[in-house]
Chains A and B, each alone.
Chain A
């Protein structure tokens, strides 16, 4: 059976993996909603931000900036440092 130390490392790993999945879903919704929400209009009705069509600006440019900021916040706030090597943990934990 795994030791307690082992469990706590895996619990952290599992939680962080779920955060990754959450981020990707948010990322996808943002990207999709702006691209096809604003981009499906007739091109005559497009408005422009920094010279780029608005759907593109919000979906790709702003979307990227938002994701970069979110990732920084998530990693700094929620990610925990754990040791990887067996020497760093007490004893042998497999089987």
Chain B
């Protein structure tokens, strides 16, 4: 056991719990439990908003899996990761004021709420809730595995015990606090990530004997490491560019991000969040992935990509500092898991239970159910994570792509195109999800060359087809269209 590193990490976790408990007092005092538990009462300021978006997005994929892949692929993967700078401004600018105004009018608390009020169609709601539950489950499993790997490499405990510790801390925290607790601690976590990655990058550069030295070591080992094309020359421009959709602009359609884009106080908070968010996301992405690449000459031969971050931190820094710095990825993972848990449970409680099972359930029942389901979900994910694949990033990206293919057009065109209707939205979701998921099955693998032209990522074609499905079906069904919210 590496106590010198574990103690700072524990201290950090205790601070997080303290904030959660403090925030939970607000939950008890607020008059609308749903609004408060899932949205923090729409009261987030600019800094907290920027940090919560960064922390939610900068999840295990970027903090554990990302640097791990950069370690094997070299600078080409850092290039790919930099497509995420766009999320810092794009999401808030495009969902932007319109989303904030419209969701307030609809009294929408989740993305599905918005879709429900916009399209007035149970089919759209059920399909949305269903895809959120399925895809976010895979995303959550990915995060839990990342968190457990981190604890595993730090403490030397077995993977299972590490996973248990991680799961327990997340569950206690999120069931007590709700959204405001998550958002507030995201702000702390985001700040730790910002400073932590910088400190670690500097330590790695020093340990490697300076940047020129590291780069020439890399080039000596494999010249491809310093090209944009990846270690085996397999990262084609088309493939890397398609990540602009997957982890760049497409992020707009992720429910956990969209929820945050309706939770801010006023337009000044939003403006500040755009500026802070862009800087923080870019800075963290660049640093984190460079750490992964630079770690290679210093610590060659790490076979499990997910362990690169924790191992390099322990290698180049004194243990106590490594503990503090590793709190950063730990923070990222925890906050992502927390908000995913909240989202899946809100999908079940609000979108399914309150809509179709028991519309007049009393507040107390809703509250018990929200907290209970959050806890049960956590336990299920725990079981799923017991036997994980090696590289969590793929699992995570798979989930992201599915949600993006499903939601991007129903959300964006639902906001900005008056003629969009429920038929278009439903067709778009079915086309998007179908094209994204089907080729993954053996039976339909003949679709692969069609859905991945020019070696692009599998998300591109479904998103394009979903666009046409939305527009064409909406246009063809114009005269059937009645009873929908005309606010947009």
**Do residues A64 and B267 form an inter-chain contact, with CB atoms below 8 A?**
no
Q: Do A13 and B101 contact each other (CB < 8 Å), given the known contacts A51-B211, A56-B79, A60-B79?
A: yes
Chain B residues contacting A80 (CB-CB under 8 Å) are 267
Residue of B nearest to A12 (CB): B97
A20 to B278, CA, bound (A): 12
- Is the Cβ of A32 less than 8 Å from the Cβ of B271? no
Tally inter-chain residue pairs, CB-CB below 8 A.
140
Contacts of A35 in B (CB 8 A): 79, 228
Tally A residues with Cβ within 8 Å of B.
Answer: 50
Residues of A within 8 A of B266 (CB): 81, 83-84
Answer yes or no: B249 CB below 8 A from chain A CBs.
Answer: yes
Instruction: Determine, out of B86-94, B192-200, B459-467, B472-480, the stretch whose residues face the partner at the interface.
Output: B86-94
> Quick check: B104 and A85 within 8 Å, CB to CB?
yes
Beta-carbon contact of A71 and B275 below 8 Å: yes
Tell whether, in the assembled complex, residue A10 and residue B98 are in contact, meaning their CB atoms are under 8 Å apart: yes
Instruction: State whether A68 and B82 are in contact (beta carbons under 8 Å apart), knowing that A20-B94, A84-B104, A94-B487 are contacts in the complex.
Output: no
Q: Which residue of B lies closest to A81 (CB)?
A: B267
Interface residues as binary, B258-289 with A (CB distance below 8 Å gives 1, 0 otherwise)? 00000000111001001100110011001000
Closest to B88 in A: A71
Total contacting residues, chain B, CB less than 8 A: 52
Interface residues of chain B: helix, strand, loop or mixed (majority) = helix
Q: How far is the CA of A56 from the CA of B75 in the complex (A)?
A: 8
Interface residues of A in 60-94 (CB under 8 A from B): 60-61, 63-64, 67-68, 71-72, 75, 79-86, 94
Q: What is the distance, in angstroms, from A64's C-beta to the closest C-beta of chain B?
A: 4
Interchain CB contact under 8 A, A84 and B100: yes
Q: For residue B229, which residues in chain A have a CB less than 8 angstroms away from its CB?
A: 39
Listed from nearest, the 3 A-B pairs whose CB atoms lie closest are A20-B93, A51-B211, A13-B98
Sample (18) of A-B pairs whose CB atoms are under 8 Å apart: A13-B98, A17-B93, A20-B96, A24-B90, A28-B244, A31-B83, A46-B226, A51-B215, A52-B211, A53-B226, A55-B228, A60-B82, A63-B82, A80-B267, A81-B271, A84-B97, A86-B104, A95-B487
